[in-house]
Chains A and B, each alone.
Chain A
């Protein structure tokens, strides 16, 4: 295999590996909403006060998945 072909293959493999991180963010978001529902069903009166925190936690967790996706995109299009 030519060296540049090897580099291209490594680039695509790396992009795929980086995309695994989005799945990890999926676990995080699932845990977040699952735990929120768990608490919300026990104490529905507290839901409205905590909604902002839920959204905040969602955005911060989701951002980590986006970071992984960004690395993947960087490898695909910018390297």
Chain B
């Protein structure tokens, strides 16, 4: 895309998938890609954090233990506030989702690493896991009563069909908005950083007069990195929070 009018750096290139360990099973390409590698890294890091944190030991708790406990308390508070005490059954699920998304986002923050959550297929898979968990748990726990979710109480009978249709559509589009929110935030954040980086390169290459101006987009990058760090935590929080709210629908349908 390095055309004369276009940017000097292709901001989309960073999301390209390429195989790290080529594996081919019966003609199907199941290679370990760079995205898969960073996902494995996120899983390993979150396991390591909790394993070291839960090791305990004599005396004063260390930093890792304090961090793991803070994470536990944070997610437990989130599950309790969104899905009630009955939702604590799904605490391990919410905890795994929160830490996987958070660490995948944070790994993506390291230059030359890739944010696994900036691939729509990853976030869509996560959102679909949540969606089907909600449907299966809801139907198993409440049977037909689960579908009371689509019939809000106190609605006059003559607009009820319309309301039910809207409720069903909004229920079915949940995985779309759930996955696209995280994906779009990570994608747009990384592209914005890249575009600002290309501003620096373009200004440095534009001659002596403009070289001094290159400081401005560089300061912009620093400010954007701070904003990105906020977004990373927020989106992990929101993804896990929405998971809890959807689980709440499965546990307590009809209100």
List residues of chain A with CB under 8 Å of any chain B CB. 52, 55-56, 58-60, 62-63, 66-67, 69-70, 73, 77-78
Say yes or no: A56 contacts B238, CB within 8 Å: yes
Least CB distance from A25 to B in Å reads: 12
- What B residues does A66 contact at CB under 8 A? 181, 184-185, 188
Q: Given A56, A58, A70, which contacts B188 in the complex, CB threshold below 8 Å?
A: A70
List residues of chain B with CB under 8 Å of any chain A CB. 1, 10-12, 81, 180-181, 184-185, 187-188, 191-192, 234-235, 237-238, 241
Q: Interface majority SS on B: helix, strand, loop or mixed?
A: helix
Q: Interface majority SS on A: helix, strand, loop or mixed?
A: helix
Q: Given B11, B180, B237, which contacts A59 in the complex, CB threshold below 8 Å?
A: B237
Q: Which residue of B lies closest to A70 (CB)?
A: B184
Least CB distance from B231 to A in Å reads: 8
Say yes or no: A58 contacts B234, CB within 8 Å: yes
Say yes or no: A52 contacts B81, CB within 8 Å: yes
Q: Which residue of B lies closest to A63 (CB)?
A: B181
Least CB distance from B170 to A in Å reads: 14
Say yes or no: B238 contacts A70, CB within 8 Å: no
Least CB distance from B17 to A in Å reads: 15
Least CB distance from A53 to B in Å reads: 10
A73 with B238, Cβ < 8 A, contacts A63-B181, A67-B180, A78-B12 known:
no
Measured in the bound complex, the distance between the Cα atoms of B1 and A63 in whole Å is 27
Interchain residue pairs with CB less than 8 A apart (24) = A52-B81, A56-B238, A56-B241, A58-B234, A59-B234, A59-B237, A59-B238, A60-B238, A62-B185, A63-B181, A63-B184, A63-B238, A66-B181, A66-B188, A69-B184, A70-B184, A70-B187, A73-B11, A73-B187, A73-B191, A77-B1, A77-B11, A77-B191, A78-B12
